[in-house]
Chains A and B, each alone.
Chain A
Amino acid sequence: MMTEEKKPLIRLRNIKKSFGGVVAVNDLAFDLLEGEVLGLIGPNGAGKTTIVNTITGFTRPDAGEIFFREKKLTGLPPYKIAELGVTRTFQIVRPYPSLRAYKSLIVPLWSQRARRFAGSRGGDRDAVAIDLLEEVGFERDAYVPYKLASALPLGYLKRLELARCLALRPEVIICDEVFSGLSMSEIASMVPLVERLRRKGVTLLMIEHRLRELFSVADRVVVIDFGVKIAEGKPEQVMQDKKVRRAYLGEELEL
């Protein structure tokens, strides 16, 4: 609708990355526009997580450049990229097993960026952490936020990943399969959370295999296969694309 007027926030230009002989990402370019929810889909092994790792500095691309506004991200270490407000979740959740759920948010809250944003309650990181957990759907009781992360089920750990991003007051959240491994009811409760984030003005790049849920929130979709972009556009357009159907959904599937 308004896509034309939005400014690009993150620009990927000719990104190339290969691991040994395997070309994970080949000459990929797309824009993430300010305030949008962009879906990034593709079959297993298409290079989606590699793209996330490349944007957030966890791997260096062999060639190409990534810009956040005017700032060049390629070559920066991961913590500096997060410091700029480009945050990510991990597909395989990375909790701190020995810390209680709310205490694990002290780590991002301790960072320079979070401290810059800390308001009147800046010193009381515990209280801020509990609020953040509530925001991503933890019960505000005397029990769940105080559990050890090692004792939490996957649904909560996925939310904890999001809370870690939120603690940094992010401009961009790159969600690496936040829906995967969750039950239908858990996903149903995550979708409104994504909507809420979008309304708050957070830009989201969502990697998903759950297309139905993704399409209910995404403004645009980029489809990649074998590290190459094969389609880009509105979800309904993209799904009509012949190449996409062949590569990703299979010829016969009706969605």
Chain B
Amino acid sequence: MADEERRRERLDRGIKARTGGLYAVNSWREIGYLLAPRAGLVLVLLVAPLVVPGLYWQRVLCFAAVYALLAISFDFLAERVGLVCIGGAFMIGVGGYISGSLNYYLGLPAALTIPIGTLGGAVVCTLFWLPCLPLRGIYFAVVTFMFPFLATSIILATGLFRGTEGLSPVAGFPNAWVGIYLIMVVVLVSIFALRRLCGEDIGLVFAGVKDNDQAVLASAVNITRVKVYALFIATLIGCFAGAYISHFSGFVGVSLFAVDFTIMPIAAAIMGGPGSIAGPALGAFILAPLSEALRGFGQLRVVLYCVVLVAFILFKPEGLLNWATRKYHQFEHWVKV
């Protein structure tokens, strides 16, 4: 019996790839089968702010969403384009400082500063990292990791943006719900848009750059240009998170370049399922509240991250979502037999 099913699964793969679209809209059951996990994600993210107890946990949820955006951005670059970029804090800082200073010095409203911070931040991050793009793997990672420290040092040394004091107050959102749902919707849009993008032709070129950049070069494609596109997309997401945080916390300072913004998304990505885009978001929504719940333990919380990381790398390297996806599809084959 078990053998039969395994055979069936192998057979299905080819057919599914060929007629993906047709196969999906064959029947209501197929549509439901594909729709259920996606609808579930949308529902959970939209309903969660309503059901969590109190303002405090709503704010925790927002912070989790910020981490989720960073995790998505990290995962997209690392697993879909092959650029291991651990400069999440730099994106947060650049996006945050642009948007926060526009509000603090010029009094622009959040509706303007956040888009400017997002776009401008992405341009700045991309330009800064452009010279590092020929680097690969760990070398690119190390260089991007240095940028937040560089930015912190410059701000502290020169006293730009009021140095250590930071800019305060930065105007908040008109009301709490706008703030919460703004970031929830952006998380959802990022997940679905990036997953769609990876299936498009340019997404395949991204995958090509990850798998074998020499072969992409031999295909008359300029890999640096392709990497710039990918980097811009990823930093858009990261800088939005930064711009959001500046208004959300009403403060802009060097703490935006904190190393937490770099490390935590990586832990979330490994836990949630590298390469699945949605998985890292899931990981962030588990890790961030968990870390809040354990706030009483103070610095011992770091032990939790370490335990989670080591445990997942050792025992479940595929991560939560990849594991769940596999189980979900296997269940399908049971039914079909």
Determine whether the beta carbon of A146 is less than 8 Å from that of B220.
no
B residues 235-287 near A (Cβ < 8 Å) are none
- Interface size of A in residues (CB-CB distance below 8 Å): 37
Q: At the interface, yes or no: B201 with Cβ under 8 Å from chain A?
A: yes
B215 touches A167 (CB 8 A): no
Q: Which of B141-149, B182-190, B202-210 contacts A (4 or more CB under 8 A)?
A: B202-210
- Binary per-residue interface labels of chain A (105-124) against chain B in the complex, 1 for a CB within 8 Å, 0 otherwise: 01111111110000000000
Tell me how many residues of B have a C-beta within 8 Å of chain A: 23
By beta carbon, the residue of chain B nearest A104 is: B208
Residues in A with CB closer than 8 Å to B15 are: 142
Majority DSSP secondary structure for residues of B touching A: helix
Is B211 on the interface with A (CB-CB < 8 A)? yes
Query: Which residue in A56, A87, A146, A168 is a CB contact (below 8 Å) of B17?
Result: A146
In the assembled complex, the Cα of A58 lies from the Cα of B219 at a distance in Å of 13
Q: Check A95 against B218 for contact (C-beta < 8 Å).
A: no
Given contacts A90-B215, A103-B204, contact A79 B223 (CB under 8 A): yes
Is residue A78 within 8 Å, beta carbon to beta carbon, of the partner chain? Answer: yes
> Would A90 and B218 count as touching, CB distance under 8 A?
yes
Cβ contact within 8 Å between B215 and A99: no
Collect the chain A residues with CB atoms within 8 Å of residue B215's CB.
90, 94-96, 107, 164
CB-contact partner of B201 in A78, A100, A106, A147, under 8 A: A106
Say yes or no: is A125 at the interface (Cβ < 8 Å to chain B).
yes
| Chain A residues whose C-beta falls within 8 Å of the C-beta of B221 in the assembled complex | 79, 107-108, 110-111
Tell me if B325 counts as interface (CB < 8 A to partner A): no
B18 touches A113 (CB 8 A): no
B222 contact set on A, CB distance < 8 A: 77, 79
B212 CB within 8 Å of chain A: yes
Q: How far is the CB of B205 from chain A (nearest CB, A)?
A: 5
B17 to chain A, nearest CB (A): 5
- When the two chains form their complex, are residues B214 and A90 in contact, meaning their CB atoms are under 8 A apart? yes
Give Cα A77 to B218, complex, Å. Answer: 10
A-B contact pairs, 30 of them (CB 8 A): A58-B214, A58-B217, A77-B217, A78-B214, A79-B217, A79-B223, A82-B217, A82-B219, A88-B218, A94-B212, A94-B218, A95-B212, A96-B207, A97-B211, A98-B210, A98-B211, A99-B208, A100-B17, A104-B204, A106-B205, A107-B219, A110-B204, A112-B220, A114-B220, A142-B18, A146-B14, A146-B18, A147-B14, A164-B219, A168-B220
Knowing that A94-B215, A106-B205 touch, tell me 13 more A-B residue pairs with CB under 8 angstroms.
Answer: A58-B214, A90-B214, A94-B214, A95-B211, A96-B211, A96-B215, A98-B210, A99-B208, A103-B204, A106-B204, A108-B219, A113-B220, A146-B17
Q: Which 6 A-B pairs have the closest CB atoms?
A: A82-B220, A108-B219, A96-B211, A94-B215, A111-B220, A107-B208
Q: B-contacting residues of A (Cβ < 8 Å)?
A: 56, 58, 77-80, 82-83, 87-88, 90, 94-100, 103-104, 106-114, 125, 142-143, 146-147, 164, 167-168
